[in-house]
Amino acid sequence: MGESQKGLLSVIQKLKGSTETELRIVLLGLDNAGKTTLLKSLASEDVNTITPTQGFNIKSVASHGMKLNVWDIGGQRKIRPFWKKYLDNTDLLIYVIDSADKKRFEETGLELSELTEEENLKGVPVLVFANKQDLATASPASEIAEGLNLHTYRDREWQIQACSAVSGEGVQDGMNWICNNIVNQKKK
């Protein structure tokens, strides 16, 4: 079983017995960051045949009374203005960054900053996946966090997680953070 499969399974297993837990997760990031690969990995689907997302993908996993709804929305420049239409009732924003594409760090940082200022995302926790850590040119997650000024996000929980959506490395750690921080808060 791949790391990402175990990650999703651990979230589901920790929620056993919950009859009302449902999370709406929006998965965003620039085009080619690895959003769809991450989503397919979480859904235990083949990650070897990924094509650019022209609109959006939705995956739902239901188990033990819990439902995890993940909306993967395309990141091409022409689609980004429509992101805000998908933010209603969001419990968690997962933002994916291509850690090896240094030329686009400023652009992705601006997009994330604008997103966190959206009214529908006020106080919504953010999990940033610093993806493509399997590439030699990838920047470390700590450097990306500093560049994104994540330390200035005082109105919400946030986490940056180094990962490789292709290999699954680090994905489980991100899923555990969701379970330990977001799901437990929602139950309160």
Residues taking part in catalysis: 76
Q: How far apart, in whole angstroms, are the C-alpha atoms of residue 112 and residue 107?
A: 9
Comparing CA positions, the residue from 181, 58, 187, 176 lying closest to residue 125 is: 181
29 labelled as ligand-binding?
Answer: yes
Q: How far apart, in whole angstroms, are the C-alpha atoms of residue 22 and residue 69?
A: 8
Q: How far apart, in whole angstroms, are the C-alpha atoms of residue 11 and residue 82?
A: 30
172 labelled as ligand-binding?
Answer: no
75 labelled as ligand-binding?
Answer: yes
Q: Cβ(91)–Cβ(69) under 8 Å?
A: no
36 labelled as ligand-binding?
Answer: yes
53 labelled as ligand-binding?
Answer: yes
131 labelled as ligand-binding?
Answer: yes
| Residues of the binding site for Mg(2+) | 36, 53
| Residues of the binding site | 29-36, 53, 75, 131-134
| Residues of the binding site for GTP | 29-36, 75, 131-134
